[in-house]
Structure 1
C-alpha cells in the first residue's frame, strides 16, 4: 500500500510538471491548448467536457451527441457548436440502444443493457471523415472520444492522413464492458497510432479492471514537445507500468492466499 501511494504521488508530480491535466475523466496535454484551439467532443453526453474545456481555454468546441434527450441538454455558450449525430463507420441511420445509465447509451445492445435497457431509437450516423469534411476542418487540436464501444467503427473508417492531422486524442476505450470493443482491437488501434508518431500515455493503468479507460495520445509530428515534458511523459509511463505490475502481483498474491485458506480448511475438515 505504501509503495502504491508513493507511485501515485510520483505520477502526480510528473503530470503537473509536464503540462498534463485531468478534465472530466480525461487526461489532456494542456500546454498545447489555447483560445485558438479547436476541440471535438465525441460522445458529449450532457456537455460536461465541452463546457469544462471551453471554460478553461476559451477555445472552440464541436460537441457531438447521438441521444436526442442528451443532445437537447448540451450547453450553448458561444464557443460550443452542437451536433446530433452518432459517429460511426457509415453515413446512414443506425440503431442506438438507450440505457438506464445515461453514460451507457450505445450502438451495442449488450453495452446499453449493462445497466438496464430502456429501448432503441434510430439516429443519424456519420463517419468522422465526413463530419470533418462537412465542417471544413483540416486540423484538430484535441479529439476526445467517449462513445461506449463504437471506437472500432470510428478508427476503421478514419484514414491515417486524418489521424495525422489531430494533435492529441484522449480516449476512453470500453473493452472492460461485455459486448464492446475487444482488448485485441484496442491494442491494434494503439499500435496504429504509435506507428503514426503518437506518444501513448496509459493513465488508466491506475484503475484496476479499467486499464484502457483513459488513454492519451500526443502527435509528435504536430506538437512541439519540450524535452522536459518528453522526459516527464517517459517517467509517467514507467511509473504507470510499475503501478500496474504491482497491482497484478497484489491480485495474484491475494488469490493465492484465498486458495491456500480454502485448501487448509478442506484438509482440516477431512
Structure 2
C-alpha cells in the first residue's frame, strides 16, 4: 500500500524519491520545500514572489528558487502583501487591508518549466493565494500529462465568487484523466492524481476511506467544540463559566 504523506497541510501519495522533481508554487519561507527534500532527497523548483519570504528561504543544493509569481500570463503582476505575510493578486475583504503592494515578475506554468528546464514532475504543489485559477486556465491540457500529482490549496474560502471556477477546474482535471481526492471540507487540500501514476484502485479506495472517515471525524470534533463553546462547564461553588486553560 502506498502511504499518504502530508506536509504543510498538503496531502499526497509518497511516490517520490531522490530522482524525482517536485515543483513548489507559493514557497513562502521554504518549509514545504525543505521538508520534502529532507524526506525524499528529491529536487525542488520553487516560486516565491515576496522578497521578505524569499530572503528567509535557506539555500540548498537540491532547491532552485525563482523569485516570481505564478499566474495566467507572463509579464508583471501587482501583489498585495497582508499582515499575516500572505501575498495575493486579489484584494481580500474590505476589513483586511494590505500593508503594501509590490510589482513582481509573473509567469505561467509552461514558462516556469521552460526557464528551469523541467521535464516530468512527480508532484506539483500549488498555494498561490487565488492565482491558481489563472494558472490552470492558462495551461494547455498537454501541460498536465507528465505531472503525476497536483496538490492544491484553492482559495474560494476567501473568495466565494471563485467557487464555480474551482468546480470547473475539478471537472476539467477529471476529464484529463486525473482522480480527485478532497482531503478538506473547504477545498484547501485537494489532490489530483494522474491515472498514469503508479496509484492503483486499491490505493485510491483506501485514500478515499481516509477522506470519508477523516472528514466525518473532523465534523464530529467541530460539533463537540461548538457545543463546548455554547454550553461552558461550571466549576463547583462558582457561577462563573469555566474557560479553556483554567486549572
2:135 maps to which residue? 154
Aligned counterpart for 1:108 among listed residues 81, 90, 97: 90
Q: CA deviation at 1:157?
A: 0.7
TM-score by length of 1: 0.77
Distance 2:10 2:122 in 1: 15
CA deviations on 1:178-220 (whole Å, 9 max, x unpaired) are 3x76111111111111111111111112xxxxx1000111111
**Count of residue pairs brought into register by the alignment:** 227
Aligned counterpart for 1:28 among listed residues 12, 17, 31: 12
List runs of 5+ in structure 2 lacking aligned partners: 228-247
List runs of 5+ in structure 1 lacking aligned partners: 1-16, 206-210, 255-270
Determine if the alignment matches structure 1 residue 235 to structure 2 residue 209: yes
What is the RMSD computed on CA atoms of the aligned residues? 2.5
2:117 maps to which residue? 136
1:185 maps to which residue? 165
CA contact (8 A) 2:2 2:199 kept: no
Specify the SS of the correspondent of 1:78: coil
CA deviations on 1:104-150 (whole Å, 9 max, x unpaired) are 21111226x76441111111011111111222222111000000010
1:170 maps to which residue? 151
CA contact (8 A) 1:106 1:148 kept: yes
Distance 1:52 1:181 in 2: 33
TM-score by length of 2: 0.83
The structure that is helix-richer by fraction is 1
- Give the direction of change, closer, same or farther, for the CA distance of 1:50–1:181 in structure 2 (3 Å limit): farther
Aligned counterpart for 1:92 among listed residues 58, 75, 80: 75
2:23 maps to which residue? 40
Determine if the alignment matches structure 1 residue 224 to structure 2 residue 198: yes
1:195 maps to which residue? 175
CA contact (8 A) 2:18 2:40 kept: yes
Distance 2:163 2:91 in 1: 19
Specify the SS of the correspondent of 1:110: coil
Q: CA deviation at 1:65?
A: 0.1
Distance 1:24 1:227 in 2: 26
CA contact (8 A) 2:129 2:155 kept: yes
Distance 1:152 1:114 in 2: 24
